[in-house]
Copies of this chain bind each other. A is one copy, B any other.
Amino acid sequence: MDNFNFYSPTYFVFGKSRENEAGDYVRKFKGTRVLIHYGSGSVVESGLLARVKKSLANAGIWFTELGGVVPNPRSGLVYKGIEQCKENNIDFVLAVGGGSVIDSAKAIAIGALYDGDFWDFFTGKKIVEKALPIGTILTLTAAGSEGSSGSVITHENGILKRATGGEVLRPAFSILNPELTCSLPPFQTACGATDMMAHVMERYFTNSKRVEISDRLAEGILLTVINEAPKALANPLDYDARANLMWAGMVAHNDTCGVGRLSDWSTHQMEHELSGLYDVAHGAGLAVMFPAWMKYVMKHDVMRFAQFAVRVWGCSMDFQEPENTALEGIACYEKFVSSLGMPIRFASLGARAADIPVLVKNLGLAGKTLGNFVKLTEEDVTKIYELAV
């Protein structure tokens, strides 16, 4: 087991109707002037935004608002939000939405305390050391941004999708009401399940040895998603399925299952180029890229893939030919995400084999490698994209 730090200070407020406590929690974490940040009209139409505002007003908290976040959130709205914060002396950013809204709120929270261009933090030019405190009211189970230290923003040009992270980006509080996810359409529910599984798997496939505790926690999260996602699709109003998925999505990405090991993230980065170029749903892109990556790197550690197959998918161990078991696990994964309605090939995403050189170039490896489980060269990445075609 490797040395590590683990820090997940977010106050999680989970369950039915708990968005009505938003004002109390903003106050608990010293917010007095709030920017409410959200996406499309659905939070308005559902009445959620009105309930949140009422809660803030009841707590005597001043607020202004900024809507319009889109999936794969853009830098343009972030600049607008930063300006709004500075003009209004905002001291707390409250995101009402899914991962895109939260990531956008985190970027605003960074930029509000910085005189330069917030994009500096996403290109690696600057390190995130301070940000306004953030609260979240989650409406979509997927990205795990409600408990994570990261943010992913797509530049206004629509092609460059870049991530940053820092301790101060962990939300002060996050309100998770599973009822708010019961109206999610099947495709988004499935994308969310795929995304949270990917967050676990990017940590699971590691070269760190003897990490039984984080292996077992990771397997527990995957088993939960495998059990609950089909129930949420079969019956969208199944509160308990939504609740189990919602918490699984948080622990999948607050690093509960990543302690003591080196994680990978190459599949996420390869997917970011896909959704940067084609604006596809992140979960759908992951469903396409993960099997390709797994097939390509499997031989690097067959026994780890066999463990994945046996413990997560309940495959029988082939003691003579462990590779058969490993392959069976990958096939189970592919079959599962496909059963959720996810694409598993380039074509279904609208991606084209002819663009692979562009995707590879946008990764910006420039002679460096990608990932940790296997350190991938541009040639490796090209072959993985080809496996996904």
Partner-B contacts on A (CB < 8 A)? 1-16, 18, 178, 209-214, 216-217, 219-221, 223-224, 227-228, 239-241, 243-244, 247-248, 251, 256, 259-260
Contact = CB atoms under 8 A, between A and B. Distances in A.
Nearest to A239: B1
A210 B260 contact: no
A16 B2 CA distance: 9
Integer count of this chain's copies in the complex? 2
Contacts of A247: 1, 213-214, 259-260
Contacts of A241: 210
Contact of A210 (B213, B221, B223, B244): B244
Contact of A260 (B8, B14, B227): B14
A221 B228 contact: no
B16 A12 contact: no
Given A1-B15, A7-B12, 10 more contacts: A1-B244, A4-B12, A4-B15, A5-B11, A210-B244, A211-B244, A212-B224, A216-B220, A217-B220, A251-B256
15 contacts: A1-B243, A3-B14, A3-B16, A4-B12, A5-B14, A6-B12, A8-B8, A210-B243, A211-B244, A212-B224, A212-B244, A216-B223, A217-B217, A217-B251, A243-B260
A240 B14 CA distance: 34
A19 to B, nearest CB: 12
Contacts of A8: 8-9
Nearest to A178: B1
B216 A224 contact: yes
A53 to B, nearest CB: 22
